[in-house]
């Protein structure tokens, strides 16, 4: 019963009550700040706030007599309820409702003057949760007690010096890393001396060629610096999954491992085979992790009935496949790849029943494949009236550009069990709504829809996304990632754990550098030693809070305003104080990252008026959209769904959050979720997180965590590289360009910024590269050269440069473990991609920005007859093949012309010819994999490619002979006078 005349607590909105003398309880005798005893005890004992929030005066000691932490816990237990529970439960009478939340707009407006206490309470409870990731300070006055992680106190563990870590950093040995660094510094010095010689010694007879070569070489040097210095401190990491299990999975107790939501995205089941996607899903459902902690969401952005039906078949087969995998510890747990292994499958299998059950399971899988392939064959031709479901109703996704949102839960806690009667992980089919006139943002938009759906249905604190062709190759992969994310020291500022990409079905020589070994085993290790690896789009485990745009718990608190008190010593609020220098500086930092409501640490620096503006209902709705249930889920740092949530209500809410208009006028794709604005949304999303102060982790298990398929033939590989390069150009031309974005907050380390700059400027290397690869042919056709006659000192600089390049590569191979073949393949395809895909990406990016033209290069496939790696020799016509082919033809013509001129000129011409021919062979050798792929196994080069290339090379050569821009005026006059005779 509310006492008459008793003020309400400013924290929980309950009456402040009376003290032992029967008088109104007063927390602060200086300003009479209304605060009940429970909230006072909570703030003083639990949060360590010993001074009044309004005037700063210390609380009286008698207010805290005979109060212990147990009393507070008893008073607060049962009161930290979720927002949804208060939305549906209005009978919590007589309970101290510290965390009552409501989404009433009228209530928000009514509390606008004095600050909304409900939102304030929500923020206070949220900040309380964030402290669980930090070490609690000792309560003793002496301060000699060691700091104890709050997780250990909650679990009842006694802190000890012998507590084993979940992971460990293994630095590269100094005897390998120190020489590498020394050579890098030496190479920088030699580059400076080399360019000093090149600039101060121009070639007057070929000034244009010389100037072009100087510009190209300077650009290459800058690119090398951007690529090399982020590798300054490479590290390796070791995980201890057994320690993770012993700490969070006690025998006979409920597992305390954090839940994980898997995201699998697909668009067209005919281009992305349904069977491959099904294998990915099966490998996820069979992962070695508690089944109640795993949920798999499959996004079908093409609304294909084939995807839906194949997923239904997959859910049925999973009832047999999952228990088989877990019973016999099968690896990998994707049936297609397990049964195709050419190894002794009886190794380490001691159960007598294994062989019999394996044969039966293989037969079951073959029958399952037949059913899925029958669905694929049926889907090859769409009926005129559209697809019809089994109940006779029309398939809602018949119009792929205009259909409602669809969600189907196939497996889960209340769904079908496996054949042994055990529960299966949740499997959910999602197809977001599509309507004409709305921008859907392709894969990034689909991923953001999955973020919202999963938050409504399961709300796991961590998300792991996989492409539809990347299956779980290591059943312990989730535990490997949890060794970082669940570590109270390491995981508090980790936004994601990136796993390297590994691939199946690539030829041994890896002709087109599909494995990308140098990037994953060299560059990413180097980035892990700075602020973390970049996000590469798949095989990545996210902290959900980082996707919501919140800052890390370890982010330093911004400086407070110089005004020590913003309240008058009365109940009435004073006017908002004028902004001082520190406040302007704080706002500039916040505005720079557009994260006003994202960093809760910053909220402590604001007075109550500012805080109520930042943490208001309206600001959350403008950020996350109009969904009360989803907004509540964003505040649950450790995940979980409201206990009062009705499954049918949650499904309706999930349908609502994937509607095509939900993201309008919100921060989705701008500051939260996957970021829009580039076809490489992965790079942009990771960059935004690093700018907010997060770091990422690179996890390389001994057994690869995930494996996928890579494009084998030359044309598909070039188109893949084109898409990556185009995305980098789009980021370069956007407001998120690392050259200028995020400087105000100073949260992105300089070497990390250099790495991101390198990821967006590398396509522009195509311009100097194609010019540099043309120089050998020009020199051979004109008899000129870009380097003057070498002196002794010049020879030293050239020799030193070549030696430093070789030493850098050798020492890099030594600490990284990469083979020299992989390094050479990477170098070759850097040239191939640079003169083709990267060049087209630059022009297409500028066309898209200036003229709004989105050019697509079509590919027409031809048949392949070869059995193994048949697709490797498949030739597909694409304009990307023309520039490299032209360069090869021009350089071959130049070599022939050079040798012909040397034969006619005598022995004195052979010396200068050597340097020119070496230069030309350097280009041809780098383009050799392209030439071999162009010819194919049986020399089946498309005639159109040969005709275009020969035509361009011929026109170029004839024009060069007719009009030589590098001939001096004197030489031109002499030639014209000599040609007056009839013998010319």
- Across the range 467-472, mean pLDDT stands at 91
Q: How confident is the model at residue 428 (pLDDT cuts 50, 70, 90)?
A: very high
Which residues sit opposite 403 in a β-bridge?
Answer: 434
Residue 944 scores a pLDDT above 50: yes
Which DSSP helix (H) or strand (E) runs through 687?
helix 681-691
1-61 belongs to CATH 2.40.30.30 = no
pLDDT digits (tens, 9 = 90+) for 814-829: 888 888 888 898 898 8
Which of 533, 545, 524 lies closest to 463 in space, CA to CA?
A: 545
Instruction: Yes or no: say if 112 and 134 are a contact pair by the CB < 8 Å rule.
Output: no
pTM: 0.75
pLDDT digits (tens, 9 = 90+) for 434-449: 888 888 888 899 999 9
Beta strand 135-136 with 148-149: parallel, antiparallel or unpaired? antiparallel
How many other CB atoms are there within 10 angstroms of residue 457's CB atom?
Answer: 25
Q: How confident is the model at residue 890 (pLDDT cuts 50, 70, 90)?
A: confident
pLDDT digits (tens, 9 = 90+) for 313-349: 999 999 999 999 998 888 899 999 999 888 777 776 7
Q: Phi-psi region for residue 668, left (φ > 0), alpha (ψ -120 to 50) or beta?
A: beta
Query: Is residue 301 flagged as an active site residue?
Result: yes
Which pair of tokens denotes residue 126? Answer: 């949220």
- Across the range 849-854, mean pLDDT stands at 71
Instruction: Looking at the structure, give the CATH architecture of the domain made up of residues 257-552+668-710.
Output: Alpha-Beta Complex (3.90)
Residue 799 scores a pLDDT above 60: yes
Backbone angles phi, psi at 977, to 5 degrees: -70, -40
Distance CA 282, CA 471 (A): 8
Which pair of tokens denotes residue 967? Answer: 């001939």
Residue 921 scores a pLDDT above 90: no
Classified as helix, coil or strand, 696 is: strand
pLDDT digits (tens, 9 = 90+) for 483-493: 999 888 888 88
Which pair of tokens denotes residue 843? Answer: 């022009």
Percentage of the chain modeled with pLDDT above 90? 26
Instruction: Yes or no: say if 244 and 166 are a contact pair by the CB < 8 Å rule.
Output: yes
Percentage of the chain modeled with pLDDT above 70? 69
Binding site members for Mn(2+): 443, 467
Round the average pLDDT of the chain to a whole number and report it: 75
Q: How confident is the model at residue 891 (pLDDT cuts 50, 70, 90)?
A: confident
What is the pLDDT at residue 586? 40
Distance CA 523, CA 700 (A): 13
232 by Cβ neighbours in 10 Å (0-12 / 13-18 / 19+) ranks as: middle
Residue 181 scores a pLDDT above 70: yes
Residue 71 scores a pLDDT above 80: no
Least trusted range by pLDDT, from 135-149, 193-207, 681-695, 699-713: 135-149
Which DSSP helix (H) or strand (E) runs through 264?
strand 260-266
Residue spans per domain, the chain: 1-61, 257-552+668-710
Helices and strands (H, E) in the chain, number of each type: 36, 15
Least trusted range by pLDDT, from 375-384, 723-732, 911-920, 971-980: 971-980
Distance CA 237, CA 167 (A): 7
Least trusted range by pLDDT, from 31-40, 288-297, 945-954: 945-954
- Across the range 35-63, mean pLDDT stands at 63
Cα Rg for the chain, rounded, in angstroms?
33
Beta strand 260-266 with 294-300: parallel, antiparallel or unpaired? parallel
Residue 365 scores a pLDDT above 90: yes
Q: How far is CA 4 from CA 1, 16, 167, 726, in A?
A: 9, 11, 59, 69
pLDDT digits (tens, 9 = 90+) for 258-281: 999 999 999 888 888 899 999 999
Residue 159 scores a pLDDT above 90: no
Least trusted range by pLDDT, from 592-596, 706-710, 879-883: 592-596
What is the pLDDT at residue 342? 81
What is the pLDDT at residue 389? 82
How many other CB atoms are there within 10 angstroms of residue 47's CB atom?
Answer: 12
Tell me the H-state helices in 77-206: 83-88, 105-110, 117-130, 150-155, 174-200
How many other CB atoms are there within 10 angstroms of residue 683's CB atom?
Answer: 23
Which pair of tokens denotes residue 7? Answer: 């003020």
What is the pLDDT at residue 570? 34
Residue 32 scores a pLDDT above 90: no
Least trusted range by pLDDT, from 652-666, 879-893, 963-977: 963-977
Which among 261, 301, 469, 607 is annotated as catalytic? 301
Residue 74 scores a pLDDT above 70: no
Question: 24: Cβ–Cβ under 8 A, 6 or more apart, which residues?
Answer: 5, 6, 7, 16, 17, 18
Which of 399, 264, 202, 242 lies closest to 706 in space, CA to CA?
A: 264
Distance CA 984, CA 978 (A): 7
Place of tokens 């990469």: 818
Instruction: Yes or no: say if 685 and 451 are a contact pair by the CB < 8 Å rule.
Output: no
Residue 660 scores a pLDDT above 50: yes
pLDDT digits (tens, 9 = 90+) for 523-574: 999 999 999 999 998 999 999 989 998 888 766 544 433 333 333 333 333 3
pLDDT digits (tens, 9 = 90+) for 104-135: 333 333 333 334 444 444 555 545 544 544 44
Which among 418, 493, 682, 716 is annotated as catalytic? 682
Distance CA 493, CA 133 (A): 10
């Amino acid at each position: 019963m509310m006492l008459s005349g008793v003020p309400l607590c400013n924290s929980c909105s309950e009456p402040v009550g009376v003290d032992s003398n029967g008088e109104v309880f007063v927390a602060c005798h200086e300003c009479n700040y209304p605060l009940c005893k429970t909230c006072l005890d909570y703030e003083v004992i639990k949060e360590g706030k010993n001074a009044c929030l309004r005037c700063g005066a210390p609380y009286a000691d008698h207010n805290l007599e005979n109060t212990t932490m147990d009393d507070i816990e008893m008073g607060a237990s049962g009161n930290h309820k979720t927002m949804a529970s208060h939305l549906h439960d209005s009978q919590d009478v007589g309970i101290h409702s510290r965390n009552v939340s409501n989404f009433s707009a009228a209530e928000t407006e009514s509390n606008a003057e004095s600050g909304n206490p409900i939102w304030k309470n929500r923020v206070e409870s949220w900040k309380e949760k964030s402290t669980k990731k930090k070490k609690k300070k000792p309560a003793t006055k002496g301060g000699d007690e060691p700091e104890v992680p709050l997780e250990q106190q909650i679990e009842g563990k006694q802190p000890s010096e012998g507590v084993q870590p979940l992971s460990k950093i293994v630095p590269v040995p100094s005897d390998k890393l120190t020489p590498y660094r020394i050579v890098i510094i030496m190479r920088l010095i030699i580059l400076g001396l080399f360019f000093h010689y090149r600039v101060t010694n121009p070639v007057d007879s070929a000034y244009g060629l010389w100037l072009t070569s100087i510009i190209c070489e300077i650009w290459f040097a800058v690119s090398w610096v951007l690529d090399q210095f982020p590798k300054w401190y490479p590290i390796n990491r070791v995980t201890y999954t057994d320690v993770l299990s012993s700490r969070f999975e006690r025998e006979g107790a409920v597992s305390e491992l954090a839940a994980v939501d898997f995201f699998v995205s697909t668009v067209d089941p005919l281009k992305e085979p349904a069977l491959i996607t099904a294998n990915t899903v099966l490998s996820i459902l069979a992962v070695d992790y508690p089944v109640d902690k795993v949920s798999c969401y499959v996004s079908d952005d093409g609304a294909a009935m084939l995807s839906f039906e194949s997923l239904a078949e997959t859910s049925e087969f999973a009832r047999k496949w999952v228990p088989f995998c877990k019973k016999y510890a099968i690896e990998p747990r994707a049936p297609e790849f397990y049964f195709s292994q050419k190894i002794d499958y009886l190794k380490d299998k001691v159960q007598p029943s294994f062989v019999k059950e394996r044969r039966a399971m293989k037969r079951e899988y073959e029958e399952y494949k037949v059913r899925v392939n029958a669905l694929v064959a049926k889907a090859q031709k769409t009926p005129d009236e559209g697809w019809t479901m089994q109940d006779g109703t029309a398939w809602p996704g018949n119009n792929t550009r205009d259909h409602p949102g669809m969600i189907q839960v196939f497996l889960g806690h209340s769904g079908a069990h496996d054949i042994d009667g055990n529960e299966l992980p949740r499997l959910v089919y999602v197809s977001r709504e599509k309507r004409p006139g709305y921008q859907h943002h392709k894969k990034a938009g689909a991923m953001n829809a999955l973020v919202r759906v999963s938050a409504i249905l399961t709300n796991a604190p961590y998300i792991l996304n996989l492409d539809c062709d990347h299956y779980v190759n290591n059943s312990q992969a989730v535990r490997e990632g949890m060794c970082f994310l669940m570590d109270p020291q390491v995981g508090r500022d980790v936004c994601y754990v990136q796993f390297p990409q590994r691939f199946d079905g690539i030829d041994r020589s890896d002709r087109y550098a599909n494995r990308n070994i140098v990037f994953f085993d060299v560059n990413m290790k180097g980035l892990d030693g700075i602020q973390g690896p970049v996000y590469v789009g798949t095989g990545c485990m996210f902290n959900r809070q980082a996707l919501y745009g919140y800052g890390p718990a370890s982010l330093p608190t911004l400086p407070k305003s110089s005004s020590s008190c913003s309240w008058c010593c009365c109940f009435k609020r004073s006017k908002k104080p004028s902004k001082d220098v520190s406040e302007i500086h704080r706002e500039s930092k916040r505005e720079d990252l557009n994260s006003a409501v994202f960093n809760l640490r910053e909220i402590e620096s604001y007075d109550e008026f500012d805080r109520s503006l930042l943490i208001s209902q309206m600001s959350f709705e403008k950020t996350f959209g109009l969904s009360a249930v989803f907004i509540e889920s964003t505040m649950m740092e450790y995940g979980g769904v409201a206990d009062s949530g009705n499954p049918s209500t949650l499904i309706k809410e999930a349908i609502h959050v994937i509607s095509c208009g939900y993201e309008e006028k919100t921060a989705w794709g701008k500051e939260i979720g996957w970021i829009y604005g580039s076809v490489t949304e992965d790079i942009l999303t990771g960059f935004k997180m690093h700018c907010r102060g997060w770091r990422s982790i690179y996890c390389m298990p001994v057994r690869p965590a995930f494996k996928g398929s890579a494009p084998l033939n030359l044309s598909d590989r070039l188109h893949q590289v084109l898409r990556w390069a185009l995305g980098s150009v789009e980021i370069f031309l956007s407001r998120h360009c690392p050259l200028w974005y995020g400087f105000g907050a100073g949260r992105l380390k300089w070497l990390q910024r250099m790495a991101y700059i390198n990821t967006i400027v590398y396509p522009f290397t195509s311009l100097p590269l194609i010019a540099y690869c043309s120089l050998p042919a020009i020199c051979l056709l004109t008899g000129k050269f870009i380097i003057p006659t070498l002196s002794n000192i010049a020879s030293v600089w050239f020799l030193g440069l070549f030696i430093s390049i070789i030493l850098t590569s050798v020492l890099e191979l030594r600490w990284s473990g990469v083979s020299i073949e992989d390094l050479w393949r990477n170098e070759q395809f850097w040239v191939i991609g640079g003169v083709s895909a990267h060049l087209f990406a630059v022009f297409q990016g500028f066309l898209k920005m200036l003229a709004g033209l989105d050019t697509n290069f079509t590919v027409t496939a031809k048949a392949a007859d070869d059995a193994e790696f048949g697709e490797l020799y498949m030739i597909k016509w694409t304009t990307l093949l023309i520039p490299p082919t032209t360069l090869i033809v021009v350089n071959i013509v130049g070599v022939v012309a050079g040798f012909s001129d040397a034969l006619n000129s005598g022995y004195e011409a052979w010396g200068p010819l050597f340097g020119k021919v070496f230069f030309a062979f350097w280009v041809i050798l780098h383009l050799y994999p392209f030439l071999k792929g162009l010819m194919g196994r049986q020399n089946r080069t498309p005639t159109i490619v040969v005709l275009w290339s020969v035509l361009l090379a011929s026109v170029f050569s004839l024009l060069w002979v007719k009009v030589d821009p590098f001939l001096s005026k004197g030489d031109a006059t002499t030639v014209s006078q000599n040609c007056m005779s009839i013998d010319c």
